[in-house]
Structure formats: structure tokens, C-alpha cells
Amino acid sequence: MKTDVPIDAVGRADKAMYFAKECGRNRACCYEQLLARGALADPGQRSAEIAGDPDVDALFG
């Protein structure tokens, strides 16, 4: 079972929203559908980067 954290969910929604905005007005896009059809690249889970003791410079650099 995959654990989802708020920063990941908001990040995916943000990417889908900006994709929709670039493609025209009055649109809604689903991140998972965009990923499946290859419209967006999967950058991996950010939560994996911040597991344990995070390196602040790596997070914001």
C-alpha cells in the first residue's frame, strides 16, 4: 500500500492544473491520466527524498 503525504498530493494537483492552464480555458486534468498517456513525466515521489533526516539544502536547492 502506498502512503501519500500532503506535499505529494498538492504537487500532483499543481502539475495537472498548470498543464490544463497551458492547454486552454475551462479545463480540468487528472495527473494520473496525464502520466498514463505520457503528457507528463513522473519525477518520482518527493516523500522518498525527505524520509528520515532531511538535508535542508537538498530540499530547497
Question: pTM of the entire structure?
Answer: 0.61
What CA–CA distance (Å, rounded) separates 43 from 41?
6
Tell me the pLDDT tens digit for each residue of 8-47. 899 999 999 999 999 988 888 999 999 999 998 876 545 4
Pair 47, 9: CB distance under 8 Å:
no
For residue 55, report the phi and psi dihedrals to the nearest 5 degrees: -95, 110
pLDDT confidence of residue 44: 59
Handedness of CA 56, 44, 5, 33 (dihedral sign): positive
Domain boundaries of the chain, sorted by first residue:
6-60
CA-based R_g, the chain, Å: 14
What CA–CA distance (Å, rounded) separates 26 from 21?
8
